Amino acid sequence: MAIAPYVVFYVAGLAFGYAAPGKWKWLPIVFPIALFLLAVFQEGADAAMLLRLAVALVVTVVGVLLGVLLERRADESSSARYA
């Protein structure tokens, strides 16, 4: 199993979670789903693909949540600095 795609999903989730406004933070969830659907239409679905999709979604959600956490900490530290 290749690690690189999961790193890309994690980094995308982290970046969007940190920098995107509002509900746009959750846009990276679409990336693994779109790639999964493309692969299903080309090759058909199997259990390995579903497992990889589940792992990709978990990794992406973890990235988004950590990005949101980092954004909140940055906001708190900057507001505390200027208070």
Structural domain span for residue 39: 4-76
Q: How confident is the model at residue 27 (pLDDT cuts 50, 70, 90)?
A: very high
User: Does residue 46 belong to any structural domain of this protein?
Assistant: yes
Mean pLDDT of 33-57: 95
pLDDT at 24: 96
Look at residue 8 and tell me whether its pLDDT is greater than 70: yes
Structural domain contains residue 50: yes
Asked whether residue 51 is domain-assigned, the answer is yes
Residue 83 lies in a domain: no
Q: Residue 34 and residue 51: Cα distance in Å, rounded?
A: 15
Domain count, the chain: 1
The whole-angstrom separation of Cα 42 and Cα 27 is 24
